[in-house]
Chain A
Amino acid sequence: KNEVEQSPQNLTAQEGEFITINCSYSVGISALHWLQQHPGGGIVSLFMLSSGKKKHGRLIATINIQEKHSSLHITASHPRDSAVYICAVRFLGDGGKLIFGTGTRLQVFP
């Protein structure tokens, strides 16, 4: 069965802390996405990756294809990073649709 699991479900941090959110999936993928969702529902795509590592500002996403695992890191976290972070994958041979994890709710306190 094509499944995506995220951990932790909830995460609180003090401003400035280094944050890591993990995502694992069950079978081979063509791409993995990290998404950010703020209260009110809007979803923003942060990264799409199929191998290696990508960096954008304070955000870093890595993926290990052999271990079927990805991580999203936030360096020097800030209260404005508070949001739900969702991992979503496109499984091989599964068309273009995304299968989503349940999300990680991050709260960063000043």
Chain B
Amino acid sequence: DTGVSQDPRHKITKRGQNVTFRCDPISEHNRLYWYRQTLGQGPEFLTYFQNEAQLEKSRLLSDRFSAERPKGSFSTLEIQRTEQGDSAMYLCASSPQGNEQFFGPGTRLTVL
């Protein structure tokens, strides 16, 4: 399969715990994006990478959030000290530069 994959698909955690999500993009895509979607809303941009460089971070990305793409391939998104307001679907997408984005299935986070 050559699509975008995300792991895990579902995560339930208690408030205050740290969680980490992984995204594996389509192999030849140099851009990787993270978005967050809450119920009934469209996705919102969080951050994106071109190769290993993090080019932009949204104001939504508080200091509890960190994202990496160490070798320009897979990416991780970590949330420290989770809060109930972090409950959402976290979507990853990849693209060749400037072109159509291909989305992964998402990781649904529930913070109790």
Contact = CB atoms under 8 A, between A and B. Distances in A.
Interface of A: 4, 30, 33, 35, 40-45, 48, 86, 88, 95-103
Q: How large is the interface on B (under 10, 10 to 19, 20 to 34, 35 or more residues)?
A: 20 to 34
B42 interface: yes
Given A98-B43, A102-B41, 5 more contacts: A45-B101, A48-B99, A48-B100, A96-B33, A100-B35
B102 A45 contact: yes
Nearest to A100: B42
A42 B106 contact: yes
Which residue of A86, A97, A98, A102 has the most chain B CB atoms within 10 A of its CB atom?
A: A97
B45 A97 contact: yes
Interface string B1-42: 000000000000000000000000000000101010100111
Contact of B48 (A4, A45, A95): A95
Closest 8 CB pairs of A and B: A100-B42, A43-B103, A41-B106, A97-B45, A48-B100, A102-B42, A100-B43, A42-B105
Contacts of A30: 98
Per DSSP, are chain A's interface residues mostly helix, strand or loop, or mixed? strand
Nearest to A47: B100
B45 A99 contact: yes
Interface of B: 31, 33, 35, 37, 40-45, 48, 50, 55-56, 89, 91, 93, 95, 97-103, 105-106, 108
A101 B108 CA distance: 20
A45 B45 CA distance: 17
Contact of A41 (B41, B98, B108): B108
A59 to B, nearest CB: 15
A100 B41 CA distance: 9
A33 B102 CA distance: 11
